[in-house]
Structure 1
């Protein structure tokens, strides 16, 4: 059943992300004292007294400020209020009302949604005398609370779920299967542009300033009858180059997104070419065992077939450790050739989750035996007796042999290559295990 949505809005540094983390009982939203840390809107599941709902954390709204991001941050925040069933407007009880609070309140008063005015940073429970100022916002009775310590949050949540219970029942149809797709890559490769193109909705803020995306942002969409959760992640740099606490937390969120991904779309800026950073990011996904599609973005900026062939050859030579990943060229900013990604994701996911019957595997193994290629160590000669698939996502194959301890990396690669020659494993890593069978 689709969950009701609760949007949390307010100006910077009033404690929205701290509030979201406390209610969701998780540390998913990045919390930092620097303004502008939350830019995109991010979604978090929560429940109170058995009522489940989705919390939307938004960027801080500053009405009179224009910088590289503020216009988009405002748009993202107000987009959250439009899709929400209930709005929580968070203000700072220590600093009081300012012009931004008044302007946001003026806009929210035009909404027909239930609005709850929450006064944060009220660390003393009995602070009624400090509440009178907030009545002038014209949003009804304010709710004093402390997101940091939890004071007053229970009372607010009781009233919040009462509002949610009055909503009409949502459509109970649930997607049978959702493919988790993480868009990864180094900063400024075009990940958010690709996410927006796939989603057909400017959910992620697009900017040419590296490091725009800090939270991993999830969007579930339907495409030709299948459901996909698209996760736009922060750009991944090497750890030694992560010099801000906020960027470090963005790195952690991106790694978590890869951990739960079925398919990773590795976005490479073709106008710059393959870099060491691209290889490291591919390594992160390969270590975590998700399927992968390599996306060459900004392909139209490459002049001539020779230059394009050189880029593809470089990828083939330097990305052999993810040689199973198909390579697709696109232009995310215009949407050119982006539709090809859907088929690539479907193929990679199908292979990532497929099962190959034991009879087919052992027929294949007989061919390996007939070919006669094996390894030895001293008097030990490897004889593989039997093979079966023991896991999916990614596929794992267990070989039973007389001397599994003598299997080396070269022989593993040989077996993997022969498996890939015989079965369609495009887009997915595979794992090989060896066990003793006398």
Structure 2
């Protein structure tokens, strides 16, 4: 089930990033073993009480002049309205209510999305509480006083946010159809691919980056099976600056990946695999989604017997942290090898939801330990007692051991490889969690 997405919107300098960082805590540092995934601090996974959600900071580039300010705010509001389940609208008690706040409030209100109004910089409740009442004038309900700096007032704010998060869970449980997100850089050919799979031009496609108008979920039927394709194709409007485009496409990708089971990363064969591709792939990897890499525009590449081999090695090198990803070489324009996508997709969907019996897992564990001795440190050796699968999507295993300090990353990877050697699990990440159990 996907986690709700919460976006923070507000004028420059009201403290959006401070609030974002305070709520996200220290969880933002990325796993060490994922090279090439640098994380702009745009999104973070947050746990509050027992709830998990994805937080998005729509901030971005601050405009200098007044008229740019509104178009910039409109861009922020649009991206929030389009991707978020709940919007936190952040204002500033020190600056008071300003015209731009009213205009943003109007934009947000029209979205029909739940909006929680937060008034920042209330470091001293007694001193500023009366000033927060002024924000009732925005017509967005109760203003919640917070201080992002001093981390005050978060409880009430997040409780209110979560009130609005739960209804969508009910609808989502019923739809059992596999959900597939098509992700990738602007202009890698995502829309052409969906159009070709649909067999009709449902999305507006042109050769200018960032021209697709809407992100629409599309149902594709093939051999009696239904798939829901989530398109992250373009941007609503042309962002003025490259950083804007990248930032928005990252937010878009996070929103789509959050809702999918399998992601198809479309890469432009002519450009080769880039840093931006690695960044986008990392979003899906972190969230444990099934992964297919579709190398598009393959018809435009001059080939000899080594071309595919060289390209495969290049992709594997840049995306070394997701060696499980399946690779297909296609042309969305000519339709070359597109049927193969569905075969690979079916396999990845199946592997992503695969359950392995505990008995079999423990046989593999015993054998793995016999073949390669667990590491030891200062005379103490790692002992592995028992392994069991606790969930699917992605397949997640808990292994009980005597001392977590001894469970090196390399041994975890070795266990993962042993499990993969037996069951394949092609196209899906698998997670192994180590739990300590004291020796009896």
CA deviation profile, 1:108-165 (whole Å, cap 9, x unmatched) = xxxxxxxxxxxx9xxxxxxxxxxxxxxxxxxxxxxxxxxx979xxxxxxxxxxxxxxx
Structure 1 residue 213: deviation in Å? Answer: 3.1
8 Å Cα contact 2:191/2:233 also seen in 1: no
Distance 1:382 1:241, change over 3 A: farther
Q: What is residue 164 of structure 1 aligned with on the other side? A: none
Structure 1 residue 248: deviation in Å? Answer: 4.4
Structure 1 residue 199: deviation in Å? Answer: 1.7
Which one has a bigger Cα radius of gyration? 1
Structure 1 residue 196: deviation in Å? Answer: 0.8
Q: What is residue 227 of structure 2 aligned with on the other side? A: 228
Q: What is residue 368 of structure 2 aligned with on the other side? A: 368
What does 1:77-226 align with in structure 2 at a 5 Å threshold?
177-213=176-212, 215-226=214-225
Specify the SS of the correspondent of 2:345: helix
Specify the SS of the correspondent of 1:365: helix
CA deviation profile, 1:177-219 (whole Å, cap 9, x unmatched) = 3111000011110000001111222221111111123643211
The answer to which of 379-388 and 304-313 deviates more is: 304-313
2:315 corresponds to 1:328? no
Q: What is residue 341 of structure 1 aligned with on the other side? A: 341
8 Å Cα contact 1:192/1:232 also seen in 2: yes
CA deviation profile, 1:250-299 (whole Å, cap 9, x unmatched) = 54232111111100001010111111111111111101111000101011
8 Å Cα contact 1:43/1:217 also seen in 2: no
8 Å Cα contact 2:179/2:262 also seen in 1: yes
Structure 1 unaligned segments of length 5 or more: list them: 1-27, 47-119, 121-147, 151-173
Structure 1 residue 358: deviation in Å? Answer: 0.2
Q: What is residue 385 of structure 1 aligned with on the other side? A: 385
8 Å Cα contact 2:214/2:234 also seen in 1: no
8 Å Cα contact 2:365/2:415 also seen in 1: no
CA deviation profile, 1:284-327 (whole Å, cap 9, x unmatched) = 11011110001010111111223332211211222221110111
8 Å Cα contact 2:285/2:429 also seen in 1: yes
Q: What is residue 401 of structure 1 aligned with on the other side? A: 401
- Separation in 1 of the partners of 2:349 and 2:419? 18
Distance 1:248 1:349, change over 3 A: same
Specify the SS of the correspondent of 1:410: helix
Structure 2 unaligned segments of length 5 or more: list them: 1-55, 59-69, 86-109, 111-137, 141-172, 236-240
The answer to which of 380-389 and 192-201 deviates more is: 192-201
- Separation in 1 of the partners of 2:242 and 2:408? 35
8 Å Cα contact 2:325/2:426 also seen in 1: yes
- Separation in 2 of the partners of 1:226 and 1:220? 10
2:420 corresponds to 1:424? no
CA RMSD of aligned residues (A): 3.4
Structure 1 residue 176: deviation in Å? Answer: 6.7
Q: What is residue 268 of structure 2 aligned with on the other side? A: 269
Relative to the length of structure 2, the TM-score reads 0.58
Q: What is residue 18 of structure 2 aligned with on the other side? A: none
2:432 corresponds to 1:436? no
The answer to which of 208-217 and 420-429 deviates more is: 208-217
Q: What is residue 350 of structure 1 aligned with on the other side? A: 350
CA deviation profile, 1:384-427 (whole Å, cap 9, x unmatched) = 01000011100001001111232121111111111111112000
8 Å Cα contact 1:412/1:432 also seen in 2: yes
Distance 1:257 1:294, change over 3 A: same
CA deviation profile, 1:194-247 (whole Å, cap 9, x unmatched) = 0111122222111111112364321122211221110111469xxx94236xx7
Q: What is residue 253 of structure 2 aligned with on the other side? A: 254
